[in-house]
Structure 1
Amino acid sequence: LFKFICWQRRDEMESLQEERDAKIKAAADGGGGGSYRSVVVELPLGDAAATFNLEKAVCSHGLFMMAPNHWDPLTKTLQRPLRLDSDDASVSSPFVRICHPFESPHSLQIRVFGTDSLSPQHQNSLLVQVRRMLRLSLSEEMNVREFQKICGEAKERGFGRVFRSPTLFEDMVKCILLCNCQWSRTLSMAMALCELQLELQCRSYGASVSEADNSINSRSSIAETLDFVPKTPAGKESKKKLGVHKSSTNLVSRFLETKVEVEADADVRIDCVEMSECLQGTGKLNTTFPSSTKEKDFYEQCNSCQTSSKIYKAEPCSLSDIQTAEGIELYPYNKIGNFPSPRELASLDEKFLAKRCNLGYRASRILKLAQSVVEGRIQLRQLEEACSEPNLNNYNKLAEQLKEIDGFGPITCANVLMCMGFYHVIPTDSETIRHLNQVHSRNSTIQTVQRHVEAIYGKYAPFQFLAYWLEVWHFYEEWFGKLSEMPQSDYKLITASNMRPRMSGKSKRTRRSGKSKRTKIS
């Protein structure tokens, strides 16, 4: 049944995609083509060109699924807002699209929308953020090569880079969001924080939150936080085994929910094209905004800046396609902003933040973290510099500093340090126990899991985490298909409850994918 639903889901997606693309093309042709301002910045790959693959570098960790990141499976491009100045929250966050064209195998193309020029300072800021996300430093390239030497399967699969955020602060907050809740709620909280950032940006431009919300298409159901709130409590998942009939019903209901979301997404994108036609044809838009120049600039930033080219094929985009298709499609998540900066969060009320973003107890921790950064008690730049040479001594020093931060327990610290480039420690939690049980037949517990991971992955030192994550990611793809091709509306279905082996006969495991081969690496 699960496979049938997946096939039916894919057929529905392809049908909706074809219909949507046809309407978008027609709307764009009728509007006389795209007229949005943009500039392309080139990022040379250098020695990394030999090992780099954009799709594999991005779609390698759940962080790529969290807002404001948007991976487009059709064009194989990464899209999101990035700050022009990481030290100044008041500076705009234009929408960018990162592509690896066929014509330019030794460099990435970063298209920045909403501007026709960039200062050297702003250009450098963007490049620093992209390099960090994709781990394009010399030390990371050395790590990839060394790990692939000791793990042949990693080289075969092109694995070695684990996606992370453009800033350490975003990584730290998202690692807080990953703990003690279901994946669907993690996605919901990240989305809500980005929606909040847009509201805060609206206020800085003198517009009310309600006016800004009205100026953007209100039918975007995907952007609504409630769509991502899990239907079950956020605590531990129930251990009660579901019968076949109940499981089937749940899967069907999930399928219907995601189908509705996809249809809404298609409508939103078409409406966005119609709105862009209006802007191109008349230069005006009937909104509730006052006519001040500042607020017109804000509207332009919130909409035309967040456009992206559409490539009408499944392969990675080419440079010529980007240039000719510019402005055809608007970013579907046009109701969210960038991930909020420390300064944007530091002055917020804790109760407001908790309620607005459904953060619960995490609101206090995130707020204190932001305030500590703004007040200088936590020096993010110094932390980043300390991990330029990942070694055990630096790891221990950084781990001690992170443990002093409210809410940074062993799991959060280990996840943050992994994002910073330390791969010799595997964050161990219930997910690790599940993996060792299903893949390695180890009856692990909280007390024994650390000993088991050391026995299994110790031979890959100092890259134990990379070896572990290679297995985990491949296991996910055995259950759910290639994650880089999964529609965003299905991300929330990647849960432990959907990966539980069903029993038939006497404790015989059967995977939904029908595969019996285990995913452990040799």
Structure 2
Amino acid sequence: MTKKTTICSKLYMPLKDYPTFNLEKAVCNHGFFMMAPNVWDPSTKQFTRPLRLADSVNSVKVTISQPHDCSLLLIEVHDMECISDLDKEAIRAQVARMMRLSPKDEKDLQEFQNIHPKFKNMGFGRIFRAPSFFEDVVKSMLLCFCSLQNSLTMAKMLCDLQSELSNGLKRKRNSVRNFPSAKELAGIDVEILKDHCKLGLRAKHIHEFAKDYHRGRYRLRNFEKCASHEELYQKLMKIKGCGAYVSNNVLMCLGFYEKVPIDTETVRHLQEVCMQASPLYFFCFIVFFHQP
């Protein structure tokens, strides 16, 4: 029996402008990396997930790793023998966004690590995010007012739904299971979204946001035009389903760190961990981060 060979194309991203970059630290720093369709393999230190091609419709699975010389990122594109220049550009742009590989992000990182040198030694400072602004907003909505496990389950169900939608409600054996796009979510009935993915009240808000985003009402470039953190915060707060916690989480994804996103689940976790060690520390933490 002939062994089936897997087609895999390779792309590279140089890291010469990002000397402190560490793939594991760039990915495994908060709950987003655990949410489907993201997969981190701690044994091989490889990150796998689907990314959109240049047409914004089709997806391809990629595996990202950092060879030992640390001077580049290796992006393995599965089941594609020939990749167009436009698709290569789209893939690299999404990887750069997730890993925060940009001059602005590097400047922010260096300023932060200069203030807190111990984090430089730890390789901490890049906050992982999704390959798209739309996915960041929806996943931030999934994190609100529930346990992390429930958030992970909802994200997985959304990816399962996307697989069914992309194949005409008929799952194919080799289908790429990606996070749904705004167009895909906008095109289905909100009740299907609610029942299939167990989103509860979030279903209506996510569906409305998907429709508005697909129509062009919410574009990343429109948010980037905001002159200040406060202006951007107020713009996000106008999106239904984006309260203070969701807005602050999205702001963190956009590179604004003036406010720390805290919800009841965060408080509960801190109470469990910190109250035993130092009740005064817990009290001061809550008072500080709930200041307007």
Is 1:116 aligned to residue 71 of structure 2?
no
CA displacement at 1:432 relative to structure 2: 4.1
Distance, in Å, in 1 between the alignment partners of 2:280 and 2:232 is: 31
Q: Unpaired segments of 5 or more residues in structure 1?
A: 1-29, 217-298, 307-336, 388-392, 456-522
Go from structure 1 to structure 2 and tell me whether the alpha carbon gap of 1:381 and 1:80 turns closer, same or farther (over 3 Å shift): same
1:72 aligned onto 2:41? yes
How far is 1:444 from its partner?
Answer: 5.5
2:263 counterpart residue number:
429
Q: Which residue of 1 aligns with 2:248?
A: 414
Aligned to 1:319: none
Alignment length (residue pairs): 287
Once the two structures are superposed, residues 400-420 of structure 1 have per-residue CA deviations (whole angstroms, 9 ceiling, x without a partner) of: 111111011111000000010
Distance 1:441 1:162, change over 3 A: same
Q: Distance in 2 between matches of 1:440 and 1:106?
A: 43
Tell me which residue corresponds to 1:473: none
CA distance in 1, matches of 2:141, 2:157: 15
Letter in 2 for 1:435: L
2:12 matched to 1:47? no
1:200 aligns with 2:165: yes
Counterpart amino acid of residue 386 in structure 1: K
Distance in 1 of aligned mates of 2:26 and 2:229: 24
Q: In the aligned structure 1, how far is the partner of 2:206 from the partner of 2:278?
A: 36
From the superposition, tell whether residues 164 and 61 of structure 1 become closer, same or farther in structure 2 (CA, over 3 Å): same
TM-score, normalised relative to structure 1: 0.52
Paired residue type of 2:25: K
Does structure 2 retain, via aligned residues, the 8 Å contact 1:373–1:380? no
For residue 74 of structure 2, give the secondary structure of its aligned residue in structure 1. strand
**Aligned equivalent of 2:117:** 152
Q: Deviations over 1:296-334 (max 9, x none)?
A: xxx5xx2xxx6xxxxxxxxxxxxxxxxxxxxxxxxxxxx
Matched AA of 1:97: T
Q: Of the two, which has the highest radius of gyration?
A: 1
Q: 1:180 aligns with which of 145, 158, 162?
A: 145
C-alpha distance in structure 1 between counterparts of 2:60 and 2:279, whole Å: 48
| 1:492 equivalent in structure 2 | none
Unaligned runs of 5+ in 2: none
Of 10, 29, 32, the residue aligned with 1:63 is 32
1:355 corresponds in structure 2 to: 195
| 2:259/2:289 contact within 8 Å kept | no
User: Which residue pairs with 1:452 in the alignment?
Assistant: 288
Equivalent of 1:165, from 124, 127, 130? 130
Of Structure 1 and Structure 2, which has the larger fraction of its residues in helix?
1
Partner residue, 1:401: 235
Q: CA deviation at 1:454?
A: 8.3
Q: CA 1:153–1:405 in structure 2 vs 1: closer, same or farther (change >3 Å)? A: same
Letter in 1 for 2:7: R
CA–CA distance in 2 between the matches of 1:108 and 1:367? 35
State the Cα distance separating 1:74 from its structure 2 match. 1.5
Q: How far does residue 434 in structure 1 lie from its aligned partner after superposition?
A: 4.5
Structure with larger RCO (C-alpha < 8 A, sep 6+): 1
Distance 1:417 1:58, change over 3 A: same
Aligned counterparts of 1:186 and 1:141: Cα–Cα separation in 2? 30
> Which secondary structure state, in structure 2, belongs to the residue aligned with residue 407 of structure 1?
coil
Name 1:386's counterpart in structure 2.
Answer: 225
Alignment CA distance shift 1:440-1:46 (3 Å): farther
Pairwise CA RMSD: 2.2
Structure 1: distance between partners of 2:268 and 2:199: 26
Is the Cα contact below 8 Å between 1:81 and 1:93 reproduced in 2? yes
Q: Does the 8 Å contact 1:97/1:112 carry over to 2?
A: yes
Q: Distance in 2 between matches of 1:176 and 1:155?
A: 31
Q: Which residue of the partner structure matches residue 280 of structure 2?
A: 442
Amino acid paired to 2:5:
S
Q: Does the 8 Å contact 1:69/1:78 carry over to 2?
A: yes
Counterpart AA for 2:50: P
**Gap change, CA 1:413 and 1:440, over 3 Å in 2:** farther
Cα deviation for residue 443 of structure 1 reads 6.9
In structure 2, the partner of 1:498 is: none
Correspondent of 2:216 among 371, 376, 391: 376
Alignment of 1:509-520 (within 5 A): none
Alignment of 1:180-259 (within 5 A): 180-203=145-168, 208-209=169-170, 212=171, 216=173
